[in-house]
Homo-oligomer: A and B are copies of this chain.
């Protein structure tokens, strides 16, 4: 039954009931963390064998032919380009392999766009630079843009991706220079952009000739068990539409092998790769090629990656299912929360009643459960409706996650009842 249809007595009873349970939990002195989109220890262990593929017994002459132990090959081993191309569903020629963090590649790209001329002048010389940010989104994306003083404009997410109507209106402004997004299993909604949205993003006319889309395809092969979304290849669509230089696509193996010791890549047009390469030649002596070869020898190709991701999915899927089952069992039809039901990725996005997310966060925190900071999923840390909570189910154990979710549900009910009772 919807809370909105309850009278004060019914609400008070629910409030008291939930509060009593909450007070019991307080005594447990929990310390649980549902805040970070980190792989669990069990997930880390899945890739330990990768550490064995290159060792002191390996045929040195064979593997050192690409100078993997020495300087050079700044844009990545050919074999690593091939692997990342297969993961990202692009051509090897479209790839530069980076270091252990695609975030660094993105940061460095924005830095370069700010300070170097890509034909239309460096952005630092513009009076204002704005970026489109589908919300809720990824806090570290917003952190990069804020660092460079780029003004962020919220665009709402629909089930098909960001509202293309809002975007098509915004790009008529010449100071709107770009957009940053996670197009597949988006952080935190889990939504995958529809073919139509991808095509329109590739085709749309933008007033800024140097408009760029930072396409962070972080969860490209990160399906849950027996589920899968398809994302259209936007590089192909851009090329067809005559906007080949519009998109920089990023991915990494951070959530395939090791979160801190994966390899990353950027895929783009020849012009764009040349733009990046000119800087990289000055910036680095080449990324870690031993680690590139480790990934190549261990994962082999897209089939190896898919096989490996099945093992990841076997660990992650029960956690997603449990959270979703608990939410369904306890909150369905109460009209005090709604949530996404993703086919992959690392997050469930939960909206509670408007104005109560911070209260839920605080209640959880007092009881020892850490949620992602309220507002972190929005530019400048400001959730305009104070309603969004990002659930990150992967890091805790199943048992911890169950406790944390049960507590979260109680806190949602308490906050909603409080609000209605105080009306």
Contact with B along A51-94 (1 / 0, CB 8 A): 11011101010001001111111000000000000000000000
Least CB distance, A182 to chain B, in whole angstroms: 15
- Among B44, B64, B71, B143, which residue has its beta carbon within 8 angstroms of that of A69? B44
Q: Indicate if the CB atoms of B60 and A48 lie closer than 8 Å.
A: yes
- Among B70, B258, B284, which residue has its beta carbon within 8 angstroms of that of A39? B70
Top 10 nearest A-B pairs by Cβ distance?
Answer: A44-B69, A48-B56, A107-B283, A261-B290, A147-B282, A261-B288, A70-B259, A71-B259, A51-B55, A100-B288
- Tell me which residues across on chain B come within 8 A of A143, comparing CB atoms: 281-282
The docked-state distance in angstroms from the alpha carbon of A273 to that of B71 is: 27
The docked-state distance in angstroms from the alpha carbon of A114 to that of B260 is: 29
Q: Indicate if the CB atoms of B283 and A103 lie closer than 8 Å.
A: yes
- Name the residue of chain B whose CB is nearest to the CB of A71: B259
- Among B73, B99, B258, which residue has its beta carbon within 8 angstroms of that of A99? B99
- Tell me which residues across on chain B come within 8 A of A254, comparing CB atoms: 71, 285
Q: Indicate if the CB atoms of A260 and B283 lie closer than 8 Å.
A: no
- Tell me which residues across on chain B come within 8 A of A284, comparing CB atoms: 101, 103-104, 107
A41 within 8 A of partner (CB): yes
Contact status of A36 and B287, CB under 8 A, knowing A49-B56, A56-B51: no
The docked-state distance in angstroms from the alpha carbon of A279 to that of B104 is: 11
Contact status of A69 and B259, CB under 8 A, knowing A48-B56, A114-B115, A282-B143: yes
The docked-state distance in angstroms from the alpha carbon of A178 to that of B283 is: 19
Which of A73, A124, A143, A291: most chain B CB closer than 10 A?
Answer: A291
The docked-state distance in angstroms from the alpha carbon of A52 to that of B51 is: 8
A161 within 8 A of partner (CB): no
Contact status of A115 and B107, CB under 8 A, knowing A64-B41, A259-B285: no
Q: Indicate if the CB atoms of B49 and A51 lie closer than 8 Å.
A: no
- Tell me which residues across on chain B come within 8 A of A73, comparing CB atoms: 260
Contact with B along A95-139 (1 / 0, CB 8 A): 000011101100110010011000000001000000000000000
- Tell me which residues across on chain B come within 8 A of A114, comparing CB atoms: 115
The docked-state distance in angstroms from the alpha carbon of A309 to that of B212 is: 48
- Tell me which residues across on chain B come within 8 A of A258, comparing CB atoms: 69-70, 290
The docked-state distance in angstroms from the alpha carbon of A1 to that of B67 is: 45
- Name the residue of chain B whose CB is nearest to the CB of A252: B285
Least CB distance, A221 to chain B, in whole angstroms: 19
- Among B55, B103, B260, which residue has its beta carbon within 8 angstroms of that of A68? B260
A188 within 8 A of partner (CB): no
The docked-state distance in angstroms from the alpha carbon of A36 to that of B71 is: 10
Contact status of A52 and B55, CB under 8 A, knowing A115-B114, A283-B104: yes
- Name the residue of chain B whose CB is nearest to the CB of A61: B41
A289 within 8 A of partner (CB): yes
A286 within 8 A of partner (CB): yes
The docked-state distance in angstroms from the alpha carbon of A58 to that of B285 is: 31
A45 within 8 A of partner (CB): yes
A331 within 8 A of partner (CB): no
The docked-state distance in angstroms from the alpha carbon of A144 to that of B124 is: 20
